[in-house]
Amino acid sequence: MNKSIYKFFSIVALSLSVSITSAQLISGSTQNTINTPRDNIFEEIHVQFKKPVPYPPLRQADVIYKKRIWQKIDFREKMNQPFYYPIEAHVAWKSFMSTILDALRAGELTAYDDRVDDEFTTPLTWRELEYRLSGQPDSIDQFDQYGLLIGKKISFPDQYQEGEVKVLKLKEVWYFDKQRSQMMVRILGLGPVREFIDSETQEKREQTLFWIYFPDARPILAKALVFNRNNSGARLTYDDVFWKRFFDSYIYKVENVYDREISQYAIGMDALLESDRFKKEIFDMEQSLWEY
């Protein structure tokens, strides 16, 4: 009798586990599961448990050179397009900005106010961030067919729209580790930059939405898939892209006594040449440290 009851509950538990495994989330929902066919030839379960590669241990005594640098990743460049697409999220594939906003909405990440500084001193709640993304409300008078005022319509002309973030700021520290005898880099922060048309001036504007502390974001980025142009079987994550430097960027600021960006004293081609000069300066520093 006891064996038959045990077998019955074992069969029930097995059937439940199979049904849960075969279920997939529709439209990224985390509330309702619907049994649907698997859109793949196998279950991609390794991504759910993937963790970021840990940083190597570092002591202050091992750092003999250090430079703080700010860079920009332009999503419109071919190499950086995996950050931007898809604009509409798939079941297991989202753009970089959708991944970040979903984590902020769920309380898994903390955004920091860029209007104060870029040193992660002022955290923002999701309600505060949502208010900023909604834009400033504007009232428009509504008239009937006889020209009589019938009320006002509230609109948000500068509301954030998907696809407006086309640039990502990186705040990094480049340092020479004498224990490993190489120049290394660690990303400190990420700052999405929104491009939109100002409703008042009708001019193109750029706006940094917030800053994210990168070490806190790594566990989330390690589970967010990125499209691999060469092999869909070798799935990359956003953490892999940052860790392996699979992106193209340019320097827009290097720590200096004036605390100014390159654009404040150079424009156009001169600014690009200045950015390349700083990159060469870092490379030359690594070579010259072991010259003698």
Q: Please name which of 193, 50, 215, 19 lies closest in space to residue 120, comparing C-alpha atoms.
A: 215
Q: What's the confidence (pLDDT) of residue 145?
A: 67
Q: Are residues 22 and 91 in the same domain?
A: no
The residue segments making up the domain with residue 24 are 1-39
Q: Are residues 85 and 124 in the same domain?
A: yes
Q: Are residues 6 and 66 in the same domain?
A: no
Q: Are residues 183 and 242 in the same domain?
A: yes
Q: Are residues 132 and 216 in the same domain?
A: yes
Asked whether 150 and 171 are in contact (CB, 8 A), the reply is: no
Give the number of C-alpha atoms closer than 13 A to the C-alpha of residue 144, restricted to the C-beta side.
5
- Single-letter amino acid, residue 212: I
DSSP string, 141-164: EEE-TTS-EEEEEEE-TT---TT-
Query: pTM of this prediction?
Result: 0.79
Q: What's the confidence (pLDDT) of residue 37?
A: 83
Q: Are residues 26 and 122 in the same domain?
A: no
Q: Are residues 75 and 20 in the same domain?
A: no
Q: Are residues 12 and 112 in the same domain?
A: no
> Which positions of the chain have pLDDT values less than 50?
1, 6, 8-9, 11-31, 292
Q: Are residues 76 and 4 in the same domain?
A: no
Q: What's the confidence (pLDDT) of residue 36?
A: 79
Q: Are residues 148 and 251 in the same domain?
A: yes
Q: Are residues 10 and 90 in the same domain?
A: no
Q: Are residues 150 and 188 in the same domain?
A: yes
Q: What's the confidence (pLDDT) of residue 287?
A: 78
Q: What's the confidence (pLDDT) of residue 111?
A: 97
Q: Which residues contact 90 (CB under 8 A, 6 or more apart)?
A: none
Number of domains in the chain: 2
Helix 96-105, helix 126-134: angle, nearest 10 = 130
Q: What's the confidence (pLDDT) of residue 146?
A: 67
Q: What's the confidence (pLDDT) of residue 93?
A: 83
Q: What's the confidence (pLDDT) of residue 209?
A: 95
